[in-house]
Amino acid sequence: MPRRIVLDTNVIVSGLRSRSGASFRVLSLVGTGAFEHCLSVPLLFEYEDALKRPGAVPIRRGAIEEILDYLCSAADRRRIYFLWRPQLPDSGDDLVLEVAVAGRCDTIVTFNQRDFVGSDRFGVRIQTPAAFLVSLQREGIK
């Protein structure tokens, strides 16, 4: 069974700013079967808000829309029927945790590991993009 993850907004932004990092590699694996990623409408709106900020990513708006459409179509889309808030210091992080809980995800992929302290109460581990890729390799996924 593939790993189930949630991608934090900072991973999406980082992956679209540079093609040389682990975030880009994780994004390039979306929809390949290497893992399943979960998404909610509020989290998709957060992605959109972050990506459309002036200077956030060197990509035209139309391409941003296409990327968001692909992320949505490749995702296990989750409706959030209950809110776990507040669990974390930042409400933006809470909505990532809510998707992870609702989607029965094992991992949140993020650069902000400190912001998700306490997620382990829900059985969700926190990994950077690089650590997540290493864990996939250990599982035999390239």
Mean pLDDT of 18-22: 94
- Reported as a single tens digit per residue, the pLDDT across 55-75 is 999 999 999 999 999 999 999
Nearest-angstrom CA–CA distance, 130 and 52:
25
pLDDT value, residue 94: 84
Superfamily (CATH) of domain 3-138: 5'-nuclease (3.40.50.1010)
Residues contacting residue 27 through CB under 8 Å, at least 6 positions apart = 7, 11, 12, 15, 16
- Reported as a single tens digit per residue, the pLDDT across 83-140 is 666 666 666 688 899 999 999 999 999 999 988 888 888 899 999 999 999 999 998 8
CA pseudo-torsion sign 66, 73, 47, 134: negative
pLDDT higher than threshold 80 for residue 81: no
Q: Could you give the 3-state DSSP secondary structure of residue 4? A: strand
